[in-house]
């Protein structure tokens, strides 16, 4: 019998009401748990979000051991899951915050990643409000024979982030996002998710905000670029059963990683 690991992507629209965000996350975690999921990925800025960004960001930023992570830890323990979500984390000063993805199980924080590439593109200036993470060894976690690595939203446009994760042993990329709508943006989102899966021969699971701000289309892709499960434009959960043996089989047929001639160095 094939070993599989059920994982979920959860699509919802976080707001400036932190308590309501936790309630929404709790509902979607319970839904995913009822469908058998053992890992669930939520969007970027799940703890707090306002559009456009303003000074309220710093007032609602939290530490890594703050109320949002504590709530996730309780949910993870109740449902025996790993929960990955975007946290508005306190920055190093009073001016900017950090855009952080946290991975939590029933014991607490097991990995966190601060977004490296800020969204200073398509007329936006995330760096006016957010400080970038520093290049560092990827933080990963393991579950049921698979290693999971984190990246965030705009990082998808930088394939070297995926290379660093796969070089750290990641079999699955988890991607919280707030992929802003615009001309061809849904096409970019879907293309980049499939490309990161294909070029690294990994699974990719990505969660976005739904329209009108995000493009929706939260989805899970396998190492050959096949979509396993997806949410359209609604608030919902999609679950896929990852074949734990697929990574090895695909890499025997397509040994692209072993044939690489270049590595990645930070700058």
- Active-site residue numbers? 44, 115, 153
**DSSP per position, the chain:** ---EEEEEEEE----S-HHHHHHHHHHHHHHHHHTT-SEEE--TT-S---SS--THHHHH-B-TTSHHHHHHHHHHHHHT-EEEEEEEEE-SSSS-EEEEEEEEETTEEEEEEE-SS----TT--GGGTEEPPPP-PPPEEEETTEEEEE--GGGGG-HHHHHHHHHTT-SEEEEE---B--TTHHHHHHHHHHHHHHHHT-EEEEE-PPTTTB----EEE-TTS-EEEE--SSSEEEEEEEETTHHHHHHHH--TTTT--------
């Amino acid at each position: 019998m094939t070993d599989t690991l059920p994982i979920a992507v959860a699509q919802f629209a976080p707001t400036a009401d932190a308590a309501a965000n936790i309630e929404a996350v709790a509902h979607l975690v319970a839904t995913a748990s009822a469908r058998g999921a053992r890992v669930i990925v939520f969007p970027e800025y799940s703890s707090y979000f306002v559009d456009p960004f303003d000074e309220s960001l710093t007032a609602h930023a939290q530490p890594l051991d703050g109320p949002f992570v504590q709530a996730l830890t309780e949910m993870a323990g109740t449902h025996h899951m790993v929960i990955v979500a975007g946290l508005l984390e306190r920055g190093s000063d009073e001016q900017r915050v950090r855009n952080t993805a946290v991975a939590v199980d029933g014991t607490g924080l097991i990995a966190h990643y601060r977004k490296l590439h800020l969204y200073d593109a398509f007329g936006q200036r995330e760096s006016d409000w957010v400080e970038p993470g520093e290049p560092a060894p990827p933080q990963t976690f393991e579950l049921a024979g698979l290693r999971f690595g984190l990246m965030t939203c705009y990082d998808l446009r930088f394939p070297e982030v995926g290379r660093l994760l796969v070089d750290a042993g990641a079999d699955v990329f988890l991607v919280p996002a707030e992929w802003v709508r615009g001309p061809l943006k849904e096409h970019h989102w879907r293309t980049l998710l499939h490309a990161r899966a294909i070029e690294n021969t990994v699974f990719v699971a990505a969660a976005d905000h739904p329209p009108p701000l995000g493009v929706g289309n939260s989805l899970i892709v396998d190492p050959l670029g096949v979509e396993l499960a997806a949410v359209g434009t609604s608030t919902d959960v999609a679950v896929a059963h990852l074949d734990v043996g697929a990574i090895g089989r695909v890499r025997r047929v397509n040994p692209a990683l072993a044939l690489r001639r270049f590595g990645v160095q930070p700058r």
